[in-house]
Structure 1
Amino acid sequence: MKNILHSLAQCYQNTCTLLKHADGIAALALRCYLTPIFWMAGTNKLMHFQDTVEWFGNTDWGLGLPFPYVMAALATSTEIAGAVLLALGLFTRFMSIPLIITMLVAIFSVHLPNGWQAIADPNAPFANAQVLDSSEKLDKAREILMAYGNYDWLTSSGSLVILNNGVEFAVTYLIMLIALMVLGGGRYLSVDYWIQSKLKHSALKETTIK
């Protein structure tokens, strides 16, 4: 029995040693997922920058944030720079911090009043009153489209839904960024790793010479 346990422990240890060389895949997957999201968000703000400034500052139909021009510029540059650096795996931990701040601002100033769900689904957990009310509206919209439109064509690219714009996606991105802040860019598959390896090699070389 003792030999069996020892063999299992040795097998587990060998597996962990082997998997250690693939531990950068998780960070790479997070980076590849987030890069197009922040690139699209940032470039869209840049292409419609004046509209973004107005939306940030307007208290009636916008966010009502102070210094809207500065805030819009910071959000735009953070998302675009974040997308580029995440793609390269460069300064990953450092860049995650302003992106996390951007997500927190989005959560509390844009999405939180709408509850959890990004897409309204009255049957899902955490459905608030706004989501529950969407069921009747969605049924009515389907009825109108079936009666007066080409419903099959209109829904050929996907089901008809109501955008609830809750915190679901923003919180997901926030969690992924927190993970990247801990993981870094990842072994072998990021510029951060090779810079760190180079610095360690240089430090070791200097220590050996001394």
Structure 2
Amino acid sequence: MSTFIKNSVSTLDALLDRLGQIIQPVDGLPALALRLYLVPVFWTAGMNKLAAFSDTIAWFGADGLGLPFPTIMASLATGTELSGAVLLALGLFTRWISIPLIVTMLVAIFTVHLPNGWQAIADQTAPFANMRVMEAGDKIQAAREILKEHGDYDWLTSSGNFAIINNGVEFAVTYLVMLLALIKMGGGRFVSVDYWVRRVVKRWVR
């Protein structure tokens, strides 16, 4: 029995090694997918901060997060998100830009999202539903009843069902994990400027 298990494991390992060899020419695609997923996330966040920069500074300061040096902090966050989106799109300095982007995610997690629990969208049936999420169910039901009585509910919901934003850490943690993966993977073979710059540099130093 133990011999059969060993042989099965060896066969499976050999198949996986062969599969790895087959997909090697396109092994940069997962990194590309992560980068392109994150580009609009950080671009939108940065542009929203920039479009109302005075409000962003106030929110970073006494009117919101209570962080020291709010102008500097807001500038760093906005600049990191916008430059991060551009560099991720190009696959340039992918590992390096992932580090300050991770810092922005950590700041967001601990200063904004953590008190709200895990879930980004309040869903009573989802795992890690805290009391805040459980109470949201009654509120969304009351809102639906008001809209059905006083509005065109079919039109109001034609673009999707109403939901309560819980603003938990779910999305921020997801982005952080993706950035950690990019630190390990880099921009991706063949699909990033990093890869081609590295090839040119290696040829030049020879």
Normalising by structure 2, what TM-score? 0.92
2:30 is equivalent to residue 19 of structure 1: no
Within the candidate set 158, 162, 165, 1:163 is matched to 165
Within the candidate set 85, 94, 117, 1:92 is matched to 94
Whole-angstrom CA distance in 1 between matches of 2:42 and 2:34? 12
2:196 is equivalent to residue 190 of structure 1: no
Hey, what does 2:156 align to over in structure 1? 154
CA shift, 1:201, in A, is 1.9
Whole-angstrom CA distance in 2 between matches of 1:131 and 1:112? 14
Residue by residue, what CA displacement relative to the aligned partner does 1:137-182 show, whole Å, maximum 9, x if unpaired? 1110000000001111111111110010000000000000000011
CA shift, 1:14, in A, is 3.9
Q: How many residues align?
A: 200
Whole-angstrom CA distance in 2 between matches of 1:136 and 1:48? 34
CA shift, 1:9, in A, is 6.8
Whole-angstrom CA distance in 2 between matches of 1:6 and 1:134? 52
2:45 is equivalent to residue 38 of structure 1: no
Secondary structure of residue in 2 paired with 1:64: coil
5+ residue gaps, structure 2: none
Hey, what does 1:142 align to over in structure 2? 144
Within the candidate set 57, 63, 73, 1:53 is matched to 57
Structure 1 letter corresponding to 2:128: F
Structure 2 letter corresponding to 1:132: M
Hey, what does 1:82 align to over in structure 2? 84
CA shift, 1:202, in A, is 2.2
Alpha carbons of 1:152 and 1:99: their partners in 2 closer, same or farther (altered >3 Å)?
Answer: same
Alpha carbons of 1:12 and 1:62: their partners in 2 closer, same or farther (altered >3 Å)?
Answer: closer
- Identity among equivalent positions (%) equals 61
Q: Which runs of 4+ in 1 moved over 6 A?
A: 4-10
Whole-angstrom CA distance in 2 between matches of 1:71 and 1:7? 54
Secondary structure of residue in 2 paired with 1:112: helix
Whole-angstrom CA distance in 2 between matches of 1:182 and 1:6? 27
Alpha carbons of 1:145 and 1:189: their partners in 2 closer, same or farther (altered >3 Å)?
Answer: same
CA shift, 1:5, in A, is 10
Structure 1 letter corresponding to 2:24: K
Normalising by structure 1, what TM-score? 0.90
Within the candidate set 118, 126, 132, 1:116 is matched to 118
CA shift, 1:122, in A, is 1.1
Within the candidate set 64, 75, 100, 2:66 is matched to 64
Structure 1 letter corresponding to 2:185: L
Alpha carbons of 1:8 and 1:82: their partners in 2 closer, same or farther (altered >3 Å)?
Answer: closer
Alpha carbons of 1:129 and 1:12: their partners in 2 closer, same or farther (altered >3 Å)?
Answer: closer
Alpha carbons of 1:94 and 1:137: their partners in 2 closer, same or farther (altered >3 Å)?
Answer: same
